Amino acid sequence: MVIVGGGFGGLWATRALAGRAVRITLIDRRNHHLFQPLLYQVATAGLSAPDIAAPLRHILRNQRNVEVRLGEVVGLDKQARAVTLADGDAIAYDYLLIASGATHAYFGHDEWSADAPGLKTLDDALAIRRRLLLAFERAEACDDPAERAAWLSFAVVGGGPTGVELAGTLAEIARHTLKREFRNIDPSHAKVRLLEAGPRVLSSFPESLSEKAKQQLERLGVEVVAGTPVGAIDERGYTLGDIFVPARTVLWAAGVAASPLGALLDAPRDRAGRVAVSPDLSVPGHPEIFVAGDLASVQQDGKPVPGVAPAAKQMGAHVATAIAARLAGNPAPAFRYRDYGNLATIGRMAAVVDVHGFRLSGLIAWWFWLAAHVFFLIGFRNRIIVLINWAWAYWSYQRHARIIFGPLDR
């Protein structure tokens, strides 16, 4: 079979098929599995890229029924049952799993992408890190007060978990990490704004926790602006209502769209481009094709299954079960999402946790979040290194990965 995508969905399906009489080709555009929940830490220089990524080949080296192929899928022939790669190779399948995830969406404003980069890949994270660090450098070298203020004005668009993490950490960097390092500016005067079009941040959480999150953000120095959508973004700033706000650094955490590979399937898709799958996660009319993770649109008890890592892992494992059932001549069971709760981190020792109505916030929620995330990090080495990096960062307020690559222009 062919599995497209080595994220949580694809990798968990691959592993669950270990020892089965299936020959798997796992195709990914990247050579690594990425622990996406910690990607914001790379973007904010707390972790280095290899801390949260591991080569797919390495993870799967002992699983003899898997061949890993670095490549980009550009075509699908459902009649011939083959996918085509960008280098022209065609790879045949009997079963196919597409788990290529999601990308960011600008809701019809793709022209904003250059001035408000989003965060989905390691390349995105390094580009954001570069932008954040250069903004303080530009402010330090700048003589004009208005221009300097614009370099010290940051905005994060979108009050979901990623936006909250980015804004909280950014405020921490400005207030603590960079302390004493500059001579012409005071980084703690930087303005960090979190812009949410809806009425509250973390809208997937109960209202009480949204309110806690807002309070914790404000304590960290973030100004939360909810209820007004951003009207425009360019390299000098953004518009909110009628007001233009100068800001040289705007980050995008507002929209998610399914991977464009969903369009190859010719199946019904929802507004975000996700494929409406059958209860067993196969594509209607194509029992040999499955979709898992952020690309799959699954309804359960009248609510959509959320686009989070645990859901992707569960879907991946389910596809393995479904294929095993089919191979044994049995019908594939229906997928059922088990919700273990909802966590979001906000910044230094601040988080919110909602586990079936059991609600935490603040320091204890942050410890809960930390334990869960470090525990789930792929690979033994990474966990230790990440823990040491974190311990060091929290003890010293330092962020070790503050390295700017590449030429000096943005």
Query: In the complex, which residues of this chain contact a second copy (CB under 8 A)?
Result: 29-32, 48-51, 53-55, 57-58, 61-62, 67-72, 86-87, 89, 122-123, 126, 133-134, 137, 140-141, 178-184, 381-382, 384-385, 388-389, 392, 396, 398, 400-406, 408
Structure token digits, residue 213 = 């999150």
Q: What is the nearest approach in angstroms of a second copy to the Cβ of residue 202?
A: 30
178 vs 194, beta carbon nearer a second copy:
178
Q: What is the nearest approach in angstroms of a second copy to the Cβ of residue 321?
A: 25
358 vs 380, beta carbon nearer a second copy:
380
Q: What is the nearest approach in angstroms of a second copy to the Cβ of residue 238?
A: 25
DSSP 2-24: EEE--SHHHHHHHHHTTTSS--E
* Cα–Cα distance, 161 to 37 (Å, whole number): 10
41 vs 297, beta carbon nearer a second copy:
41
Half-sphere exposure of 361 toward its Cβ, with a 13 Å CA cutoff? Answer: 16
Q: Is residue 335 a contact partner of residue 279, using CB atoms and an 8 Å limit?
A: yes
Distance between start and end Cα atoms, the chain: 43
54 vs 209, beta carbon nearer a second copy:
54
Q: Is residue 103 a contact partner of residue 249, using CB atoms and an 8 Å limit?
A: no
Q: How many CB atoms lie within 10 A of CB 140?
A: 17
69 vs 286, beta carbon nearer a second copy:
69
The torsion angles phi and psi of 150, rounded to 5 degrees, stand at -65, -35
Q: With DSSP H G I counted as helix, E B as strand and the rest as coil, what are the percentages for the chain, rounded to 5?
A: 35, 25, 40
Q: Verify whether residue 207 is a known catalytic residue.
A: no
Q: Is residue 250 a contact partner of residue 233, using CB atoms and an 8 Å limit?
A: yes
Could you say which of 72, 140, 147, 165 is catalytic?
165
272-306 in b/e form (b: 16+ CB < 10 A) is: bbbbebbebbbbeeeeebbbbbbbbbbeeeeeebe
Q: What is the nearest approach in angstroms of a second copy to the Cβ of residue 230?
A: 29
Q: What is the nearest approach in angstroms of a second copy to the Cβ of residue 356?
A: 37
* Cα–Cα distance, 103 to 272 (Å, whole number): 10
Which amino acid is present at 188? S
Phi-psi region of 356 (alpha: psi -120 to 50; beta: other; left: phi over 0): left
137 vs 288, beta carbon nearer a second copy:
137
* Cα–Cα distance, 137 to 173 (Å, whole number): 14
Residue 118 DSSP symbol: B
Structure token digits, residue 328 = 């044994």
Q: What is the nearest approach in angstroms of a second copy to the Cβ of residue 75?
A: 16
88 vs 329, beta carbon nearer a second copy:
88
Q: What is the nearest approach in angstroms of a second copy to the Cβ of residue 92?
A: 15
Give catalytic residues, as residue numbers: 165
